[in-house]
Structures are given as C-alpha cells and as structure tokens.
Amino acid sequence: MTAVDTHCPYCALQCATTLHPVERPGAVAVQPREFPTNRGGLCRKGWTAPEVLTVPDRLTKPLVRNAAGDLVETSWDEALDFVADRIRSLQTAYGDDAVAVFGGGGLTNEKAYALGKFARVTLRTSNVDYNGRFCMSSAAAATNRAFGIDRGLPFPLTDLGGAGAILLVGSNIAETMPPAVAHLDAARAAGGLLVVDPRRTATAGLVDEGAGVHLQPTPGTDLALVLSLTHVVLQEGLADTAYLQERTDDPDGLFRSTAGWWPERAERVTGVPAVTIRQAARLLAAAAPVHGGAGAFILTGRGAEQHSKGTDTVTACINLALALGLPGRLGSGYGCITGQGNGQGGREHGQKADQLPGYRSIADPAARAHVAGVWGVDPDDLPGPGRSAVELINALGTPEGPRALLVHGSNLLVSAPRLASVREHLAALDLLVVADVVPSETALIADVVFPVTQWAEEDGTMTSLEGRVLRRRAAVTPPGEVRSDLAIFAGLAERLRPATPFSTDPAEVFEELRLASAGGIADYAGISWARLDADEALFWPCPEESHPGTPRLFADRFGTPDGRARVIAVDHRPVADDLRGEAPLYLVTGRLLQHYQSGAQTRRVVELAEAEPEVFAEIHPRVAAQLGVSDGRPVRLTTARGSMVLPARVTTDVRPDTVFVPFHFGGEGSVNELTNDALDPVSKMPEFKACAVELAAASLSAKGIPA
C-alpha cells in the first residue's frame, strides 16, 4: 500500500484525509489534508476512524440463524441462495410488496443508486426508504417547495467566512462537525453569531464575550421564535422589499403570516426575552446586503427539523431569509447542515420512497420513462411511491405490510423512534437481512447477516453538505470474506431476475448513475471519476463534461416553474406530545462530540468510548434539588412510550424545563425507547426532538446495581 487520498467516513463535512500504511493487516494511519471544508483540520472521530477497520468483532463471514436460534457462519452462496429462496416464496404468496428495503445516508452514491434500482427492478417493490428520513427530510421538503431544489447548502461552505452574521437554528456544529467552526470566525468577530438552542451547547458557548447571541427557547418553539424574528424585520422596515417583489411569488404573504408574532407574544411562548429577539433580528438584518452588510446566512439543523412541524419551521427560516434578500446573493443565503456522510447524495439517487435517480419524482411519467430506459425495463413495471421510513417500519409484519426486510447501512434498533414498537415489528417478520460491518443491535436479531466493506476498503463517490461530489478511495483489502453491498445486489439479482444484471464494479455503476441522473435536478451527467481524480470535487448540477459544476445556486432564478421563490405561510403549533401534569418536562435528544449516529462504530473505538462510556440525562440544578438528586445519581425518565433509568448529569447548560439525553447508545441506554414517532405531515420526519417526560429519583438497584 502507498499513501491514498480520500475523505473521512463520518459526517457530511467529508474532511479530506490521506491514509498511510502501517504494519498491521487491514490497518491504516490517517492525516488530514487541506480541503475547503476542513482546512486541514480533523475532529476526534476522524482521527480515530481507522480503529473501526480492525475492531475485534468485525464481521468477516456471512451468518445465518440456525434451528437453535444461533447465528452461524456460512458461505456466500448458501446465504444468498437462502435469502433469494425466501424472497421468492414470500413474493409468490403475498405479492412484490411483501419485501422491503431500508437504506442509509452513509452509503456511497453508487450503493445508494444500486439499492434503489435493486428494489424497483429486481424486487419490484414500492417499499423502499432510508434513514435519511430521520436526518434532513424536513429541510428537503421545505426547500423543495420554496426553491424547487433541495441541496443542503446551495453555496460553498467557505462563503460563510465573509459573513457579518450567521443564524444557526438547532445546529451544534462545534460537536457534530468541529472543523466547520473555523468558517464562523468572521461572524463571531463581528458579534453576529446567533445560536438558537434550548441547551447551552458547545456551539452556543461560542457566542461568549460579545461574539453574538444565544437564544434559548422552550423546546419545540423554534417556529414561533423565527416568526417573531421575521415580524421584527418586516415591522421595523429592515426587509429587502425590492428583492421580495422581484424574486418571490407572494411578498404580502410574509406580512400576513407574521403580523401576530410581536416579540412580547413570542416571549410568552418561547421564553426568549422580547429584547433579545429584537436584538438578534437587528444584528442579522444589519449584515444583510440590503443594508450594506458583509453578508448574512441562516442555517438549520436537526434541532429545528426533527419535529412534527419541522418542515414548517424550516419554511419559516427560509421566509426570514427571503425577507432579508439572502438566497441567491453572493456571500449570503439559507442552507441546511446535512448530518450523515452521504446524506445529500444518499437521497438523490433512488433509495427514498418517492424518488428516482437525479432527484426525480417516481410519480412523474417522464422521469419513469427516462430511468426505465437506462435500466432497460418497461416504465409500467416500476412501482409507484412507497411508504416513508416510520410508516414502513410500522407496517412490517402486519397483514397488509412487508414480510421481509433487507437493511443496508442502518441500525434501526437504536436510530428509530419508539423502539419497543420497532422491535415488535422486526420480530414479526418472516425474514430480516442485515448488511453491516459490525454486529450492530439490528444485525444481532437478523436471520441473515452479510459482512460488507467500509470506507477505506472501497471505491466510490460521496456528496458533501454543499452538493460537492468527491471520491472515496480504497486503501486496504477488506478482511476475511467481506464483500461490497454491490455484490449483494448483484448476487440476489442473478438469482431472482437475471434479465437485469447488476455490476459489482463501482466505476461502472457510477457511469450508469450519470446516465440515469442526466436531465434531473441533481444532474451528475458531466461528472466522471476521471474529472474527480483531477479536480478533487465538482458541484452538481453538472450536465456535461465541459461544464464546470455549479457551486452556487439561485443567482438568477430559483428552481420553480416561474423562477420565483414560493412564500409559504406557516404558524406555530405545540409539540405532538406536549407537557401535562404527570410529565412536566421536555425530553430533548442530541449528539455528543465523541460519538456518531447510532454509535455502532464509535462505541467500538476505545479512546471515544472511554471519553463518553455511557448514556446520561442532563438536568438543571433546580430540578435536581427538587428531586433530591446529585450528580451521577440515577433518575427515572418516563414518557408515554416507555421508561428508563440513567445517571444524572447536573448542569446549567439545560433549561429548567428540559432533560437532554444523547441518542448514540444501544440496549438499555437507547433513548429512542422514549421518543415519539408522530410524523411531520409533509416530510414524514418523526418528532425525535421533543416530548413530555416524567422525571423521578431512582434507586441504584433500578439500574441493576446492588443498593
């Protein structure tokens, strides 16, 4: 092995790295590279990423559950034959939709594309969705209906570096993607970093010493807060009225929808002082181009989106950006901080229930005809839109739902809401197949487990939070009998419907992806591996090989039929599971610096596990005093969906009405046992972020520890 340039396996920042050989088989050492997003930096997770390649319990051979109920090693042919036979018999008995596929936002573009094609061509099932539904589906829905295009950041991340003000709504990038913090320096220096979060996170801590404002609302009230910020902008004459007239379809709609949200009313709803709301609105407006400012940005994250009104909250943020004339302006704009490593590309090429490659709608006859032509099938043979993630999970094992589920790149038994229900539905299946790199919580209950490649063992492409397509490169040979997910799709397709073969070569798959995406919203037709190898990365849309790519969208027009942004009127409403007498606090979930997503990778890295070894519940000192609980003592959390006992972490970083629990832990530490699966009606995002919880002191024995 020689040094190999690639990118970090974790978040959508996709920090550039170089992998160097070491003496241990399958192992590498990592060094950060200079790249626009990470600027030569790397977070703790990135530095320790190579450890996951050689963890002791790495899956290296296919496993099948025997008659005694144990997972035992088998050959690839036997495992593939078994799965194909079960799929064939179930579809014969119950129809094509008896089999479902669940993907992940960490899969390469090639694997995400092949997964969607496999579901619709080989299985002919409409039941396909992915864990990106839990990530930024609300932002995707909001930007699609406002702008006609969903790209997390419609501008390069480096544009933030010149801004005079940045409003972060529900994004804790100081812990989720630390190298990105460097892009906030100019806004901090100008006193214009505005952070909306019910916790004093590491990101909120950046506003100390005059660097900006931390707006700390009651959980679930971000929408009311943003409506009030917009009210101030409009009522104080701070809006860009010329921009609104020229570039939106209904400027008066903004005035009508925010007229009732004066700051004093918002203070009663959100708990944020009216004076702070006015201060933040004025700081943001002062940086806007209409007032000669250095530039302003509004960015949203999961804290704003993972609600049953998440689409409306993001829409309110977009409306505020439109009021200030930000979208499409150089050095200003609205964007969404994508979470998963390929959260952007993962939803563009067909593993989402309603989409075909190129971000095409599966219900559009022209889109179906184009993609079917690339695939060599009849458009009428393609299924229509399917169930979204939670709807799909809730249908598993029911009389009208799927009887089999194939999971690629997702750990449902940690990441999905209302886990008791998820567990029941998975147990009711006739067949559960999981492809993973380690024995995750979901893999351990599967009937068949396929060992698959991970980041440093495979070639492919990823798409960063900016819509920047970049190359992932293999540096080491995978251990044992590990194969790519592409080999699984090819092996099953050969056994089930060989008339449409699948390639196991990611370069060939990408060439097909280019053809399938051509002419779509996310057009990759002009992007080739050769160009990426030469240029490092290209922004979509890139319709032909002579095209330079599109770093910035919306300079002249939006992606709507008339080129104008849509103003969508929205209004605040309470969380679906709101406070009540027996549950007077809000449960909020989120991330930690040391861990990633379901923790299946990072909990296996010794350095990271030692830094944050177990789950905990952050509570305010006032609440701790009321309960008679000190730091480290156990507390019982109870919601309408379950109960769990956790050690308390007493801190003023949370509001007195808020309990915070990180979601990276499995088993008895899975906070998603308690979270609500109420869905946003537009995006179908579940309401992870806020629900009513009862808190009580617990005995040590309640945690299984001798009293």
Supply the DSSP symbol for 138: H
**Cα distance between residue 212 and residue 77, in whole Å:** 60
Is there a contact between 240 and 290 (Cβ–Cβ < 8 Å)? Answer: yes
Q: Which CATH number fits domain 137-336: 3.40.190.170, 2.30.110.10, 3.40.228.10, 3.40.1260.10?
A: 3.40.228.10
**pLDDT tens per residue, range 515-547:** 999 999 999 999 999 999 998 789 999 999 999
pTM (predicted TM-score): 0.96
CA-closest candidate to residue 639, choices 592, 591, 699, 690: 690
- Confirm if 313 and 223 have CB atoms less than 8 A apart: yes
Residue 469's SS3 state is strand
SS3 per residue for 414-431 = HHCCCHHHHHHHHHCCCE
Tell me where in the chain the CATH 2.20.25.90 domain(s) lie.
4-54
What is the C-alpha separation between 432 and 102, in angstroms, rounded? 11
E strand intervals along 229-324: 296-300
Residue 704 has pLDDT above 70, yes or no: no
Pick the CATH number of 65-134+342-498+509-514 from 3.40.50.740, 3.30.1330.80, 3.30.70.580, 3.30.450.40: 3.40.50.740
Q: What is the mean pLDDT of residues 188-207?
A: 96
Give me the chain's average pLDDT, please.
96
Residue 703 pLDDT > 80, yes or no?
Answer: no
- What is the DSSP secondary-structure string of 175-206? HHSGGGGGGGHHHHHTT-EEEE-SB--TTGGG
In total, the chain counts a number of residues equal to: 707
191: left (phi over 0), alpha (psi -120 to 50) or beta: left
- Write the CB contacts of 636 (distance below 8 Å, at least 6 apart in sequence): 643, 644, 645, 694, 695, 696, 697, 698, 702
CATH fold group of domain 585-703: Barwin-like endoglucanases (2.40.40)
Q: What's the CA gap between 122 and 382, in Å, rounded?
A: 10
Closest CA to 560 of 336, 247, 312: 247
Q: What span, in angstroms and rounded, lies between the C-alpha atoms of 195 and 203?
A: 7
Does pLDDT of 707 surpass 50?
no
379, pLDDT greater than 90: yes
Question: Of the CATH numbers 2.20.25.90, 3.30.70.60, 2.40.37.10, 1.10.10.10, which one belongs to the domain with range 4-54?
Answer: 2.20.25.90
Q: What is the pLDDT of residues 618-633, one digit of tens each?
A: 999 999 999 999 999 9
For the chain, residues classed under CATH 3.40.50.740 are: 65-134+342-498+509-514
State the residue for tokens 């903004």.
Answer: 254
Residue 387 has pLDDT above 80, yes or no: yes
Instruction: Give the tens place of pLDDT for each residue, 96-152.
Output: 999 999 999 999 999 999 999 999 999 999 999 999 999 889 999 999 999 999 999
Q: What is the pLDDT of residue 700?
A: 64
Orientation of helix 263-270 relative to helix 222-235, angle to 10°: 170
Residue 706, pLDDT score: 35
Q: How confident is the model at residue 21 (pLDDT cuts 50, 70, 90)?
A: confident
Q: Which part of the chain has CATH 2.40.40.20?
A: 585-703
Task: Answer for the pair 503, 110: CB distance below 8 angstroms, yes or no.
Answer: no
pLDDT tens-digit map of 290-336: 999 999 999 999 999 999 999 999 999 999 999 999 999 999 999 99
Q: What token pair was written down for 58? A: 């790495």
Rounded mean pLDDT, 448-468: 97
State yes or no: pLDDT of 23 exceeds 90.
Answer: no
* Confidence band, pLDDT 50/70/90 cuts, at residue 705: very low
> Range(s) for CATH 3.40.228.10 in the chain?
137-336
Tell me the two tokens of residue 338: 């994508």
List helix spans (H) across 123-162.
137-147
Q: Are strands 4-7 and 16-21 parallel, antiparallel or unpaired?
A: antiparallel
Furthest C-alpha separation in the chain: 73
Region 609-620: mean pLDDT is 96
Percentage of residues of the chain with pLDDT beyond 90: 96
